Amino acid sequence: MIPAAFDYVRASSLTQAIDLLRNDPDGTKLLAGGHTLLPSLKLRLASPALLVDIGDLAELKGIEISETGIRIGALTTHAELFASLPLNEQLPLFRQAAGLIADPQVRNRGTIGGSLANADPAADWPAVMLALQAEIEIAGTSGFRTILARDFFVDIFSTVLEADEILARINIPRPTAGTRFVYRKIRHPASGFAVVGIAIALRLSQNLVSEATIGVTGAANHAFVGEDAADFLIGKTLSRENIDQAARLLSEATECLSDRYASADYRANLIQVELKRALLALTP
């Protein structure tokens, strides 16, 4: 449980951090909250020559709310997202999801940027970002680029981030008035990670679904959008039959993961159960 030796730099600017990554992309790792990276170092799953601590970078901090949407710095911790009153007045989904992450120690140190960049298939924020149609802002040697969250996750622990890029911010468009949200998950009993987690943004007009976005985590190699299930719901009531059909479509949307705790069939069943529960929670 002792990491291999490494050098450590506390970055004083985003440019410095990017330069250090560019100098040795394979041998350098960014350190944010450390709640995934430090255990990986101790288990020697990672042995970088240099750790670049980005914890002082003011440009990666803070929650800004404007007329058009919400901007969240990558270093914002799960606990800050849970506690922010202005954020949760707009999107109580943040308190709901953050409160389901692990325990207070992890929530106090772990960051949303670290969670998204790490792309653990069982992490909670990816599903929430997909349901909110978030955009990820990435800093690199040639400036900033943005990408939709739905195009950000590539595979297990894999994203579109290049080795010399830093996830800088998350931009969330202001949802249409009347949109309601829910995040539910079945927790792994040991880690608290999602065995299956489902986030939904849903709007009803005269009892018919007019907008729906569904993000799923825990079930597959990476978080994904339940497009067919959401499309099916548009223009329909949240009747028992329609909810059942949406749940079936969602469980057929992916090849589920299988591990010692949960088989692929069990996860596929959990997708159905959790989507039904989530939609029932949103039914007026």
Ligand X SMILES: Cc1cc2nc3c(=O)[nH]c(=O)nc-3n(C[C@H](O)[C@H](O)[C@H](O)COP(=O)(O)OP(=O)(O)OC[C@H]3O[C@@H](n4cnc5c(N)ncnc54)[C@H](O)[C@@H]3O)c2cc1C
The residues of the shown chain that bind ligand X, judged by CB under 6 A, are 29-37, 39, 74, 101-102, 106, 109-111, 113-115, 117-118, 120, 123-125, 161, 166-167, 191-193
How far apart (Å, rounded) are the C-alpha atoms in residues 274 and 126? Answer: 17
Q: How far is the CB of 154 from ligand X (least distance, A)?
A: 14
Identity of the residue, 109 or 145, whose beta carbon is nearer to ligand X in the bound complex: 109
- Report H helices in the chain: 14-23, 37-42, 78-83, 85-90, 93-98, 104-109, 112-118, 125-131, 227-233, 240-251, 264-282
Q: How far is the CB of 111 from ligand X (least distance, A)?
A: 3
Amino acid at 244: D
Identity of the residue, 142 or 206, whose beta carbon is nearer to ligand X in the bound complex: 142
Identity of the residue, 159 or 179, whose beta carbon is nearer to ligand X in the bound complex: 159
Q: How far is the CB of 233 from ligand X (least distance, A)?
A: 26
Identity of the residue, 111 or 179, whose beta carbon is nearer to ligand X in the bound complex: 111
230 in Cβ contact with 216 (< 8 Å): no
Q: Which residues of 81-111 are buried (b: 16+ CB within 10 A; e: fewer)?
A: bbebeebbebbebbbbbbebbeeeebbebbb
User: CA nearest 271: which of 203, 218, 212?
Assistant: 218
210 is catalytic: no
Q: How far is the CB of 113 from ligand X (least distance, A)?
A: 4
- Report H helices in 119-239: 125-131, 227-233
Amino acid at 266: Y
Count CB neighbours of 177 within 10 A.
6
Catalytic residue among 12, 47, 205, 258: 12
Q: How far is the CB of 54 from ligand X (least distance, A)?
A: 6
- End-to-end CA distance of the chain, in Å? 51
In the DSSP assignment, the letter for residue 228 is H
Identity of the residue, 149 or 233, whose beta carbon is nearer to ligand X in the bound complex: 149
Amino acid at 119: A
Identity of the residue, 163 or 208, whose beta carbon is nearer to ligand X in the bound complex: 163
How far apart (Å, rounded) are the C-alpha atoms in residues 71 and 33? Answer: 19
Amino acid at 222: H
User: CA nearest 257: which of 214, 215, 199, 195?
Assistant: 195
Q: How far is the CB of 109 from ligand X (least distance, A)?
A: 6
Positions annotated as catalytic residues are: 12
